[in-house]
A and B are shown apart, each in its own frame.
Chain A
């Protein structure tokens, strides 16, 4: 069954979209990742204009983050104050990102910038995950003790703030900067940015892992909501029909994934996800490097 997407202005198969949403949702349920960084490139491969894919995916992430944050909220795993500071940075970063997006679109370079950003980030994440899963598979018996709260230059920064829930006393500039960077990524790449924010919160800020996911989800809701709103106003690239189809598939897939995830072994799964990420990355790189069928292309910002 075909459905015509009003903003993307193309006709796609409903079941393909639901399946895609379900598949990525399942992966995100199993691995506890957002899934935006897989969904957006898959939308490119389907032929959805990249500007529409990015803006619409931000809209879908609002839904999955709301659903996630509610679960963490009930368990009290959200540091609202930290989330608030992160999101001030996030709103600034994503607003700047959407402005940059419009400029790049005008110049005809948005496609390239989105895809290059994906290649860079997917390479880093995929390799890190693969290395880590291989390491932990090898040394699964040895328990690795990593820790220590090092004192670095970051603790010398001004505007110190106390975050009771995270048991931290750090400069507000740090979470502001992290939030800004993640907001920028959300606007340009259509991702929640959890894959950058979670490690940054653990390793840079030194937050306890229990509150990291819930707090990052809280910030992601507001940042992706801001991206959705600004993309709608500036570029008219949010396709609600596409977003709703992805949400339905994603929600169902995530529930199935969460249940499957509990029964499976961590390291192998993580290795598998790393391979998927690297596979998507390889395809994106290939498309950028291989000589296109036609050196000339038409149109504003979409079009490949």
Chain B
């Protein structure tokens, strides 16, 4: 099943490539800023996205964070206390997922296209790392992942509004919450005309820590021993300084 989807996916991409070559790319998309910087004052940010889609048709944009493995755990009651018991590790889970479109998806987007390009949370395909774990129960874990990610504001179920201005100029605004992961984000734009995928365009967005925040994080992960020593030294100095300051007064 998975292999078939994959083959289909490759066919479509290759075919899509031909279409694009023929039409010399109909849509252009650009970002107000190709880098999202997480700095000391970071409390989430809005990313402004705009582009042009000549001719008619509808636009759907998918913003996908870097993929990684995610552990989903289920709690059970043990002696009155809720305890993590069963767990499944899911592969290929995007850290972030948002969409934007000019109208409701079901009004213009055929299910087949949505499925192939994984447009919409219900079409996201992630699989358990341990394939033997695929039981009826596993779908609960899948939905739990979607639910938890939505609660953390990292996934959105309904597309964000995308507004067409004059001359087929469109723009949209995507909210990146404070807990967004760092990495390379894909921004895929699809132009749908009469139920057909006419054109698509992918651009990349970099989310990274910047300034002191980045240095601290890198230091902690790359030279954790030196980081630990420094943390202790800072604390010793702070304690000594507090004592010295207090003695004078």
What residues make up the interface of A, taking CB atoms closer than 8 Å to B? 1-4, 6-7, 9-11, 59-60, 62-68, 70-71, 108-109, 111-112, 116, 221, 225, 228-233, 236, 238, 240-241, 243-244, 247-248, 251, 254-255, 288-289, 291-292, 294-300
Contacts of A289 in B (CB 8 A): 80-82
User: What 10 A-B pairs have minimum CB-CB distances, sorted nearest first?
Assistant: A66-B239, A232-B228, A296-B144, A62-B235, A229-B228, A11-B178, A67-B239, A63-B235, A251-B242, A63-B239
Is B220 part of the contact surface with A, judged by Cβ < 8 Å?
A: yes
User: Residue-by-residue, is B184-209 near A (CB-CB < 8 Å gives 1, otherwise 0)?
Assistant: 00000000000000000000000001
Contacts of B239 in A (CB 8 A): 62-68, 70
Q: Could you tell me the distance between the alpha carbons of A136 and B83 in the complex, rounded to whole angstroms?
A: 40
Contacts of B39 in A (CB 8 A): 4
CB distance from B74 to the nearest CB of A (A): 5
Q: Could you tell me the distance between the alpha carbons of A3 and B70 in the complex, rounded to whole angstroms?
A: 27
Contacts of B41 in A (CB 8 A): 1-4
CB distance from A244 to the nearest CB of B (A): 7
Q: Could you tell me the distance between the alpha carbons of A64 and B242 in the complex, rounded to whole angstroms?
A: 9
Among B80, B87, B147, B238, chain A packs the most CB atoms within 10 A around the CB of B238
Find out whether the CB atom of A296 lies under 8 angstroms from the CB atom of B74. yes
What is the chain A residue whose CB lies nearest that of B213? A6
Find out whether the CB atom of A247 lies under 8 angstroms from the CB atom of B238. yes
Q: Could you tell me the distance between the alpha carbons of A11 and B75 in the complex, rounded to whole angstroms?
A: 27
Contacts of B214 in A (CB 8 A): 6
Is B227 part of the contact surface with A, judged by Cβ < 8 Å?
A: yes
Contacts of B236 in A (CB 8 A): 62-63, 66, 221, 225
Contacts of A255 in B (CB 8 A): 242, 246
Find out whether the CB atom of B228 lies under 8 angstroms from the CB atom of A11. no
Find out whether the CB atom of B231 lies under 8 angstroms from the CB atom of A243. yes
Find out whether the CB atom of B84 lies under 8 angstroms from the CB atom of A6. no
Find out whether the CB atom of A229 lies under 8 angstroms from the CB atom of B238. no
What is the chain A residue whose CB lies nearest that of B177? A11
Q: Could you tell me the distance between the alpha carbons of A10 and B84 in the complex, rounded to whole angstroms?
A: 24
Contacts of A108 in B (CB 8 A): 71, 73, 84, 87
Of residues 35 to 78 in B, which have CB atoms within 8 Å of A's CB atoms?
A: 38-44, 70-76
Find out whether the CB atom of B231 lies under 8 angstroms from the CB atom of A59. yes
Find out whether the CB atom of B148 lies under 8 angstroms from the CB atom of A294. yes
Given A65-B239, A66-B240; A11-B141 close (CB under 8 Å): no
Find out whether the CB atom of B228 lies under 8 angstroms from the CB atom of A231. yes
Is B216 part of the contact surface with A, judged by Cβ < 8 Å?
A: yes
Which of A70, A232, A294 is the one whose CB lies under 8 Å from B231?
A232
CB distance from A25 to the nearest CB of B (A): 10
Find out whether the CB atom of A299 lies under 8 angstroms from the CB atom of B71. yes
CB distance from B165 to the nearest CB of A (A): 33
Q: Could you tell me the distance between the alpha carbons of A108 and B72 in the complex, rounded to whole angstroms?
A: 10
Find out whether the CB atom of A59 lies under 8 angstroms from the CB atom of B224. no
Total residue contacts A-B, CB cutoff 8 A:
169
Given A6-B216, A255-B246, A288-B81; A296-B231 close (CB under 8 Å): no
Offer 27 A-B interface pairs, CB within 8 angstroms, sorted by A: A4-B38, A6-B217, A9-B179, A10-B179, A62-B232, A63-B242, A66-B236, A66-B238, A66-B243, A67-B242, A71-B243, A112-B83, A233-B225, A238-B228, A243-B235, A244-B238, A289-B81, A289-B82, A292-B75, A295-B82, A296-B73, A296-B74, A296-B75, A296-B140, A296-B147, A298-B70, A298-B148
Q: Could you tell me the distance between the alpha carbons of A240 and B84 in the complex, rounded to whole angstroms?
A: 29
Which of A4, A228, A296 is the one whose CB lies under 8 Å from B141?
A296
Given A236-B220, A238-B227; A295-B74 close (CB under 8 Å): yes
Q: Could you tell me the distance between the alpha carbons of A229 and B76 in the complex, rounded to whole angstroms?
A: 34
Find out whether the CB atom of A70 lies under 8 angstroms from the CB atom of B151. no
Find out whether the CB atom of B145 lies under 8 angstroms from the CB atom of A298. yes
Q: Could you tell me the distance between the alpha carbons of A297 and B82 in the complex, rounded to whole angstroms?
A: 12
Known: A4-B43, A229-B232. 19 other contacts (CB 8 A): A2-B41, A3-B40, A63-B242, A64-B239, A66-B239, A67-B240, A112-B83, A228-B231, A233-B224, A236-B224, A238-B231, A240-B234, A243-B235, A247-B235, A291-B82, A297-B72, A297-B73, A297-B84, A298-B72
Find out whether the CB atom of A116 lies under 8 angstroms from the CB atom of B42. no
Which of A225, A241, A288 is the one whose CB lies under 8 Å from B232?
A225
Find out whether the CB atom of A59 lies under 8 angstroms from the CB atom of B217. no
What is the chain A residue whose CB lies nearest that of B226? A232
Q: Could you tell me the distance between the alpha carbons of A288 and B79 in the complex, rounded to whole angstroms?
A: 11
Given A4-B43, A11-B42; A109-B231 close (CB under 8 Å): no
Contacts of B228 in A (CB 8 A): 228-233, 238
Contacts of B87 in A (CB 8 A): 108
